[in-house]
Amino acid sequence: MIGIARAVVAALALAAGPAAAENTAIIGAAVYASPDAAVIRDAVVLVVDGRVTRVGTRASTPVPKGYRVIDQAGRYLVAGFWNNHVHLTTPVLLNAVTTTDAALGAELEKNFTRWGFTTIFDLASTTAVSANVRGRVSTGKIAGPRVLSVGEPFYPTGATPIYAREFYSVFKLPSAEIVLVADAERRVRAQVAAGAAGIKLFTGSIVGGPQGVVHMPAATIRALADAAHRLGKPVFAHGTDREGTDLAVANGVDILAHSAPLMEDWTAEYAASIAARKVAMVPTLSLFDASPDARTPTSAAVQQTAALHKAGGTILFGTDAGFTELFDTAPELRLMGKALDWRGVLAAMTTAPAATFGEADRRGRVARGYVADLVVVGGDPAVGVENLADVQLVMRGGRVIFVRP
């Protein structure tokens, strides 16, 4: 009966909708306030106006009168997750402009919200699509994660990736290839003005055939990175191989959008050279595991992730969901657990992206004054990192946006 009552209360909180959020107390869960914090058992988390106001044990943290109480006893509460590599390119999302709120909300829930994501970073769709989805979420028309996006990507001249060509043809999208660098710089400014939170460069683009991979010239990378940085925006790169990765790291890129198993294992010195330039990486390990290829072994991607982490580099969680149909986070968590301990994995989903994208003072932790982006999972991540995929409840900005049925 206790479990049924808990589910009913949580469901009522969800049904109340974005406009009806109330002061809330989440009680009974064990809380990991940050990846490096000791667990707080039988905790109380108080939320007012979308911010955490207090975190403590039940014995030391009374619930004020009039608060909505959500009992999560026996579960674990952590900060909301970031997926730092997704694509808003499923058919429903690409047609967001003509999609109903109900259908769009259901798509976001199925693909992202139910996996605990309170922030997603779209690493290439279209500026129009991302603006539409972002706007409907931010205004409360639909429930879902906060949407950050790079809008359209930047490809080398004549080098749209072989796997993306059909996509551009079917959806009648304009080319994202660079013709003149000056025009590409103007496009950086236009996309940022339209709401882009960063840009993505294909410093190594897979074109197939004898060429294999076409690389973006160093001067072009530097010019576009500088253009983005002048606007305060980060630069992602799809490097693909050793040359594409080296070009990205040497010319102002901030985040590698994938590991690069097409390369050999990374030596400690090579990983340290990336870390020294403060370049982060989103490994997308499950991408390679889901499509086994002797040329891109998952083991190499795991080794590169471990090497960069050991060198003091920043690892960010991301799945490439939307490009792939793998929305379940358990495979990525399992593989990341081979490269990092559970605290490192949790950091990749919380504190690391918050710091990387300039929000360490307000997101990524369960702490007083922080945005109430919170996730409740069914099991202890210290016991098994895949427990972070067992999402029971998601709160974004103080509003419950998902409750597991």
Instruction: Render pLDDT for 341-364 as a digit per residue (tens, 0 to 9).
Output: 999 999 999 999 999 999 999 999
Instruction: Please answer whether residues 143 and 18 qualify as being in contact, where contact means their C-beta atoms are separated by less than 8 angstroms.
Output: yes
**What distances in angstroms separate CA 362 from CA 31, 147, 282, 350, 358, one per listed residue?**
18, 17, 22, 11, 9
Calculate mean pLDDT across residues 170-181. Answer: 94
pLDDT number for residue 6:
47
pLDDT in tens, 112-152: 999 999 999 999 999 999 999 999 999 999 999 999 999 99
User: Per-residue confidence at 21, pLDDT binned at 50, 70, 90?
Assistant: low
User: Per-residue confidence at 8, pLDDT binned at 50, 70, 90?
Assistant: very low
**173 vs 115, higher pLDDT:** 115
Is the pLDDT at 286 greater than 70? The verdict is yes
Regarding the domain delimited by 81-356, which CATH topology (the fold level of the hierarchy) does it fall under? TIM Barrel (3.20.20)
Query: What's the start-to-end Cα distance of the chain, in Å?
Result: 15
Instruction: Please answer whether residues 109 and 101 qualify as being in contact, where contact means their C-beta atoms are separated by less than 8 angstroms.
Output: no
DSSP 365-382: S--TTSB--EEEESS-TT
DSSP 160-193: --GGGHHHHHHTTPPP-B-S-HHHHHHHHHHHHH
CA 161 – CA 170 distance, rounded (Å): 15
Buried b (16+ CB within 10 A) or exposed e, 94-122: bebeebeeeebbbbbbebbbbbbbbbbbb
pLDDT number for residue 171:
87
pLDDT in tens, 362-402: 999 999 999 999 999 999 999 999 999 999 999 999 999 99
pLDDT number for residue 22:
82
- As annotated, the residues of the chain forming the CATH 3.20.20.140 domain(s) are 81-356
**What distances in angstroms separate CA 83 from CA 70, 160, 222, 316, one per listed residue?**
26, 25, 26, 8
175 exposure class (CB count in 10 Å sphere: 0-12, 13-18, 19+): exposed
CA 357 – CA 47 distance, rounded (Å): 24
CA 183 – CA 185 distance, rounded (Å): 5
Task: Number of helices (H) and strands (E) in the chain: give both, helices first.
Answer: 14, 18
How many Cβ atoms from other residues are within 10 Å of residue 180's Cβ? 9
- As annotated, the residues of the chain forming the CATH 2.30.40.10 domain(s) are 2-79+365-403
Q: Indicate the residue type of 333.
A: L
Is the pLDDT at 15 greater than 60? The verdict is no
pLDDT number for residue 18:
46
CA 239 – CA 245 distance, rounded (Å): 4
Is the pLDDT at 282 greater than 50? The verdict is yes
CA 357 – CA 109 distance, rounded (Å): 24
CA 322 – CA 125 distance, rounded (Å): 10
pTM of the predicted protein model? 0.94
* Listed residue (165, 260, 239) closest to 176, CA to CA: 165
Select from 2.30.40.10, 2.40.160.40, 3.10.20.600, 3.30.540.10 the CATH code of 2-79+365-403.
Answer: 2.30.40.10
Is the pLDDT at 205 greater than 50? The verdict is yes
pLDDT number for residue 122:
99
Is the pLDDT at 25 greater than 80? The verdict is yes
